[in-house]
Structure 1
């Protein structure tokens, strides 16, 4: 996946501009089990703790922190693995009008959601291209299309079983000790700021 963020107005530094860690897209994608957490659907704070651990990792890394304080019309395009987010505004009266579009590539080997997958138990959440076509198509009512899931759960090798030389999502597993998720107490339930 890649994404494009477009500034629809001049972005003020106090409006909570999108931030990113320049170059962080080169690291392997993290999943919940890397941090000793269940996937985000299993508990309300799992993703928040995941964000906290990624934030701590970025603070100790050499990737420079940048903010998208851009003039109207500028565009930031990034790879899905870039560590990025949107913090609460320092001045809540300031708007930050923008548009974000996510692009998934058709006919790729697979598109998956690391934070919604359980690689320890061979259960990967994949984006289902057929379901996406139906969801954004014209058959059925709008209500029926909204109710459709764009995901399907499959085994680690679901998309690569006929191509054994292609790495599957579970091969990216790089455990970080579970203690990280136990010692980092999440305190920002209403102000989550990192997305990855």
Structure 2
């Protein structure tokens, strides 16, 4: 059976044992952001949840964000809010990407790196499953780079080192890389 989200291919290279279903209220997220979300992102949140990529030596790399805040005793649970504002502001300030004339309101952040890059969707297509990934690379050759794939496929290719040049300011190609759910990360 075909997996339209690509999540099965990702779980083959990125163990999901330290992930957890985030239990997102997708209807509330749609109301908050005024849009549906890509199926691959929803599948990712149901298997891995919000959390971070970390190497065996404890080096952190990237964080996948939640679309809504969750009740927590911890203050560092991240959401889309701040990073989306940062990405939209950078797009407006830096003039976007040559040849791509879009309103910054069509940028929605779903992740960040310690680089500190911001991983986004370009939401101009009415079908969220068609949203390409837009990376604001803080220490990369281009300020903004567009990737014609969804979030899960972008992560799979990133982890398998299929991009040349590598699109982030930090290296997530470490074979010992794990994904830690946000609550697991906080326990450690």
On whether the aligned pair clears a TM of 0.5, the verdict is no
Computing the radius of gyration over CA atoms, which structure comes out larger, 1 or 2? 1
Shorter-chain TM-score bucket reads under 0.3
Q: TM-score scaled to structure 2, two decimals?
A: 0.26
Structure of greater relative contact order (alpha carbons < 8 Å, 6+ residues apart) = 1
